Amino acid sequence: MTWLLQRIQSSEAFSNRNGSTGGSNSSSSGVVCNADTKGLVPRITQLLDKLHSTRQHLHQAWHVRKLQLDQCFQLRLFEQDAEKVCGHGGSLGCVQCHEEVIYNKSW
């Protein structure tokens, strides 16, 4: 999309160098340069900036979400390993196993 802005701006510069005024003027780049295109350049630039900003925000939000999902996955793996170590099928049994280890441990 940036190339479109460059072509419009280059056609404006070409028209200005050749002393053209208003109206529909064709330049060597093949883009019609008139008052409408001159008014669109700032608007298109603004929209592109907003698009870029939104894209960065989305990328940042995705990164945060991915970290959360990775943490949830790691927690689930830890829970599975803890259940295997305790030898119990349920999480309550595992809690009881840990209580036994903590309270019955002789140092």
Residues forming beta bridges with residue 26, ordered by sequence position: 32
92-107, pLDDT tens digit by residue?
Answer: 555 556 555 556 555 4
98 vs 78, residue with greater confidence: 78
Threshold 0.75, pTM exceeds: no
Structure tokens of 68? 């959360």
Total number of domains constituting the chain: 1
For residue 57, CA distances in Å to 6, 26, 47, 65 come to: 26, 39, 15, 12
Its sign, for the CA torsion 19, 24, 25, 30, is: positive
Domain that holds residue 84: 2-103
Report d(CA 20, CA 38) in Å as an integer.
14
20-49, pLDDT tens digit by residue?
Answer: 544 444 444 455 557 777 788 888 889 999
Q: Could you tell me which of 40, 36, 31, 35 has the C-alpha nearest to residue 10?
A: 31
